[in-house]
C-alpha cells in the first residue's frame, strides 16, 4: 500500500482528490444522513476549493493506493497535543479487507514523527464505521454536536487512539 501526498499547487491532483472523495463520501453517507445534507457537506468539505483551503491551513491529504489504483484517501491535521484525523475513507470495494490497519499505521507513524501520543477523530453516531474504529483500538471519549450551517447538524462521537 502506498500513500501519495497531495500538494496544494497540483490542480489536477486536487481535482482528482475532490472527485474521489466526493464519490466515496456520497456512497457511504447518503444512507446515513440523507442526500441533501450529504451533498451540502461534500460541497463544504470535499470540493476542490475546500480541499485547497484545508491544505493551506495545514491539513495533509493522501491518496491511498494499492498497486496503481487509488482506493481511498485520508487527511489529518497536526495539533499541539495530537493528530486530528479528519478523513479516513476507502472505496466500498476495498472495505473489510484489512486495509484500514495499514492506513492507521501510516497515521501512527505521523504521530510518532511529530512526538504526539494521541490520534483524535469524530464519527457520526449512526455510522457503522464505529465498529471498525473500535476494532482498530480507538476509544470513545465523548460526543459533539456541531452546527455546520444551512440548518444541518453534525452529531458525532469523539474517539481517541493512544499511540504507544
pLDDT band at 3 (very low <50, low <70, confident <90, very high): very high
Tell me the CATH number at 6: 3.40.630.30
Q: Domain limits at 119?
A: 2-162
Return the C-alpha cell found at 49: 476549493
Q: Beta-strand (E) ranges in 13-151?
A: 60-66, 69-78, 83-90, 118-124, 139-149
Return the C-alpha cell found at 159: 474517539
Q: pTM of the prediction? A: 0.93
What's the chain's average pLDDT?
Answer: 95
Number of structural domains found in the chain: 1
Cβ proximity of 71 and 128 under 8 Å: no
Neighbours of 149 (CB within 10 A): 9
DSSP state of 15: H
pLDDT band at 164 (very low <50, low <70, confident <90, very high): confident
Cβ proximity of 3 and 106 under 8 Å: yes
Q: How confident is the model over 57-83, as pLDDT tens digits?
A: 999 999 999 999 999 999 999 999 999
- Inter-CA distances, 73 with 2, 16, 91, 115, Å: 11, 11, 9, 23
Amino acid at each position: 500500500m502506498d500513500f501519495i501526498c497531495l500538494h496544494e499547487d497540483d490542480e489536477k491532483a486536487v481535482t482528482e482528490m475532490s472527485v474521489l472523495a466526493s464519490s466515496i463520501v456520497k456512497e457511504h453517507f447518503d444512507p446515513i444522513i440523507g442526500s441533501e445534507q450529504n451533498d451540502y457537506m461534500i460541497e463544504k468539505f470535499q470540493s476542490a476549493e475546500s480541499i485547497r483551503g484545508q491544505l493551506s491551513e495545514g491539513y495533509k491529504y493522501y491518496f491511498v493506493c494499492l498497486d496503481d489504483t487509488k482506493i481511498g484517501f485520508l487527511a489529518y491535521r497536526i495539533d499541539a497535543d495530537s493528530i486530528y484525523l479528519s478523513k479516513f475513507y476507502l472505496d466500498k470495494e476495498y472495505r473489510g479487507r484489512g486495509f484500514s490497519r495499514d492506513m492507521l499505521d501510516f497515521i501512527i507513524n505521523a504521530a510518532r514523527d511529530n512526538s504526539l501520543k494521541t490520534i483524535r477523530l469524530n464519527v457520526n453516531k449512526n455510522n457503522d464505521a464505529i465498529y471498525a474504529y473500535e476494532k482498530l483500538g480507538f476509544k470513545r471519549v465523548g460526543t459533539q454536536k456541531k452546527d455546520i450551517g444551512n440548518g444541518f447538524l453534525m452529531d458525532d462521537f469523539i474517539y481517541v487512539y493512544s499511540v504507544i
